[in-house]
Amino acid sequence: MPYPILDPTGTTETAARAPRAPRRRNLRGVTVGLLVNTKQNAAPFLDEVGRLLIAEHGATGTMARTKVNFAAPAPDDLVKEMTTSCDVIITGIGDCGSCSASAVADGIAFEVAGLPAAAICSDAFRVTADAMAELRGAPGYRYATTPHPVAVLTPDQVKQRAAQVLDDVMSLLTEPE
């Protein structure tokens, strides 16, 4: 009997299925957590999404936090702090190899913590974002995309993009009756 050819990957187990947080009917009166990953234009983009959720959908306020290491998932204490203070979460902008994946990982972490989340990624990074969702036990996890590139946009263009993605963000965060 010949020897089997050995597997170099070491993987056997599949990730436990990650729960999805219950959706809200609307965003009236909520605090929107903005998890900014330091990529160019991420802060003004998320700020504008937050502003529009207040102006057009009745959110009460925003709380912005910055994730220093864009390549890694948000640290547990940051997730805990935002979960305590916020009702829904926006993460982004996934605009690079590692940060797109980790923006989605962050979204899933907040779902597990019980908060509806909307990750926003550049559309050039769909495959890597989907792969991360699968790794985190949330295959098919939905997130919002904005056309690539994001980093070169002017402040006015960033605002337009935020406005364009708003409907998708709303449909990710809410489930109207």
List contacts with another protein (CB under 8 A): 3-11, 15, 38, 40, 69-73, 96-102, 105, 125, 127-128, 131-132, 135
Contact present, 94 and 125 (Cβ < 8 Å)? yes
Q: How far apart are CA 161 and CA 114, in angstroms?
A: 28
Beta-bridge mates of residue 33: 63, 89
Least distance (Å) between residue 70 CB and another protein = 7
Least distance (Å) between residue 82 CB and another protein = 18
Least distance (Å) between residue 24 CB and another protein = 29
Phi, psi dihedrals of residue 51, rounded to the nearest 5°: -60, -40
> Considering beta carbons, is residue 30 or 74 the nearer one to another protein?
74
> Considering beta carbons, is residue 45 or 70 the nearer one to another protein?
70
Contact present, 116 and 173 (Cβ < 8 Å)? yes
> Considering beta carbons, is residue 50 or 94 the nearer one to another protein?
94
> Considering beta carbons, is residue 11 or 84 the nearer one to another protein?
11
Beta-bridge mates of residue 145: 121
Which residue, among 176, 24, 134, 146, has the nearest Cα to 87 in the 3D structure?
A: 24
Least distance (Å) between residue 101 CB and another protein = 6
